[in-house]
Structure formats: structure tokens, C-alpha cells
Amino acid sequence: MNVLTQYIVKEILKGSFIALILLLTLFNLFTLADELKDIGKGQYDLTAIFTYLALTSPRVCYELVPSAALLGSLFVLGAMGNNRELIAMRAAGVSVLGIIQSVLVAGAILATFSVSVGELIAPTTEAHAQLLRSTAQNQQLVLNARYGLWLREGKKFINVRHLENNGELADISIYDLNAQAHLQTVTHAEKAVYLSNEQWRLENIAQSTISTKQMQASSKTEQLWQTNIAPDLVKIAVVNPDNLSLMDLSQYIDFLKSNQQKSQTFELAFWGRIINPFVTFVMLLVATPFVIGVRRGINVGGRIMIGIVIGMSFNILDKIFGHVGLIYDFNPLLMAVSPSLLMAGLSLYALKRSA
């Protein structure tokens, strides 16, 4: 790595991490404002709120790396262009391709950082954050396990394996213990629908009664279930894509498919996680054409503003493609990769024009 490449990489990394810190701070301030509305619910106090913000920061940081790369590279390359450093580099024999290669080296470092945070840290801390928030507000004992939600109500232990998009629960098991803490009954229901007044309707029920003498099995079409478990508590997605690593997502998708359940949301999250490191490179490519052709008529500030608008538009486009894919059941891989391919194509075209 030559001196100029080291200089460009160092400056882009510095600018990107500064942008990341500023974006993360801004995002957490908005989140803090939202969370303050819930202060006083149960035991949810300022300490819990700040702990929640700290635990969700790795996931937010992972999501913000592409945007930080865009903003950091725009300001750093813009400053280089404004100070005629890019012109000096090109006069010294460095081609546009050489500058782009240096920018992409910085992108590789940022992508590695992003993957490390997103796969090794964020899933665990995000799960703890959601668990902390829900238990503090509802004051119920909850364990967010790998593939389900465990709740305790008196001597009953409830396991919920899936939360439907309409808020209904699916694949529920209720374990009822007697006074001696021995298992007394096991009830499994395919679905639970919330009615009102702390009352749910269990559907397609299989129940086993256990004693020291015998075990009896019975089944019912439906049954009312009186419980003080709040619907808001189970709204924390029983299995949330943000709480799973890439490998866990792959395994859970296989689990859903083997049980004939819908997996599109998790497939979209899986391919989005695969594509995310490459989005960082795309954002850097978006930044380059707006500052590399400083000899043209538009000033650097104008190019930075245009680049920011286009970069932020990418996030909106990505969300639109994702929701359209879920609504119309399009291929998740195609929906995840299309915005990045479209933006990369436009960036390469702009680079060709500015070279």
C-alpha cells in the first residue's frame, strides 16, 4: 500500500467513524425522546432507558455503517477536492481508478467492522435490550430463548414459538405445576387469539394430564384461556431477525420451511444481512463521482448535497423493495439485492462520465 493510498484510506476511515458517532448519537437522542413517553410503566425508569439505549447501540451502529461511509467519504473527498489534493494526485500520475481502489480499501475495512459488530455483538445485545424493556414495563418473568419466548405466571410456564403478523400467537405450550413443583398438565395449542379482559382463545388443543398413576391425553377444538399476560409483552417478536445471527437466521428459515410456515420475512432479513457489507461499497461508489470531477462547474458543496440526497434515497428504495416483496411474495434475494445493484449501476455510470 503506497503513501497516497494510506492517506486516502486513513482520512476516509476517520471521516466515516466521526460520521458514525454523530449519526448514532442523533439516533439515540430520538430514541430517548420516544422511550421517555413510557417512563413510569412498571419499573421502567431512566436507568432502564439508558441501559436499553446502550444495548441497542450495536444493532443501530451496524445499520448506520453504510450511511456513515457515505457521509464520511463525501466530506473527506470533498475536502480533498476543495483543497485541490485530488488534482495534485492526478497530476502526479494517480488515475481515477487508483483513487477509487483506495476508497474501496477503506470500504473493505468498514465492511469488516460492520460484519463483526452485526454478527458477533448486535444479536445478543439486541435480544437483551428487548427483554429488558418488556420485563421492566410488564413486571413479568420472561426468558427470550433462541427459538421462542418463555413466560412465567404463578406455577405456569408458557412457551410461545411464533408470533403471527396480525398479533396472534402460534405453537404455544403451557406447563402447569402443582404445589410440589411437579408437572401436572401440559397443554399445547396451535394458535391463541386475544379477545379482551385478559382473555385469549386457544385453538386446536392437545392436553396431557400427568399423575403418579397414569397419564391421560385429550383434545379440544378451542378453549378460553384466562391469563394476565399482556398482549404488549408478546409483541416483542418471539423470534426477531435482529436477535439472530446469520447462521441462526439460516437455521430458523429451515425450521419454518420444515413446519410449512411463512419464512419470507426472515429470508429477506437473511439476504439483507448478506448484502449489507456490499452496501458500504455502493455508498462509497455513490460518493466518489460527486467529488472526483472537481474541474466541472458544480462546486464541492453542491456535489456533497446531491450525494447525500441520493444516498439517503437508497434507504427509502430499499424499504420499498422489501415491503413490496413481502406483499407480493417476490423472491427475497431479488428484493434484497435489487436496490444495491440499481445504485451501483448509477454510480458506475456517473464515474464513467466524470473520469
CA 29 distance to own-chain centroid? 19
CA distances from 208 to 148, 188, 189, 213 (A): 21, 9, 12, 13
- Distance CA(119)–CA(59), nearest Å, equals 10
DSSP-derived 3-state class of residue 83: coil
Using a cut of 0.95, tell me whether the model's pTM lies above it. no
b or e along 206-234 (b: 16 or more beta carbons within 10 Å of the residue's beta carbon)?
Answer: ebeeeeeeeeeeeeeeeeebeeebbeebb
> Where does the pLDDT of residue 1 fall: very low under 50, low under 70, confident under 90, or very high at 90 and above?
low
Q: Which of 206, 160, 216 is nearest to 184 (CA)?
A: 216
- How many C-beta neighbours within 10 Å does residue 257 have? 13
> Do 35 and 53 contact (CB within 8 A), yes or no?
yes
Measured distance CA(81)–CA(102) in Å, rounded: 15
Amino acid found at 100 = I
Work out the percent of the chain whose per-residue pLDDT is above 70. 86
- Give me 49's grid cell: 432507558
CB 332 within 8 A of CB 267: yes
Domain ranges in the chain are 3-138+240-354, 148-234
Q: Are 148 and 238 in contact (CB under 8 A)?
A: yes
Q: 227: part of which helix (H) or strand (E)? A: none
Instruction: Check if the beta carbon of residue 159 is closer than 8 Å to that of residue 149.
Output: yes
Q: Which tens digits make up the pLDDT trace of 52-67?
A: 999 999 999 999 999 8
Q: Render pLDDT for 21-79 as a digit per residue (tens, 0 to 9).
A: 999 999 999 999 999 998 888 788 999 999 999 999 999 999 999 989 988 888 888 78
Q: Does 333 have pLDDT greater than 70? A: yes
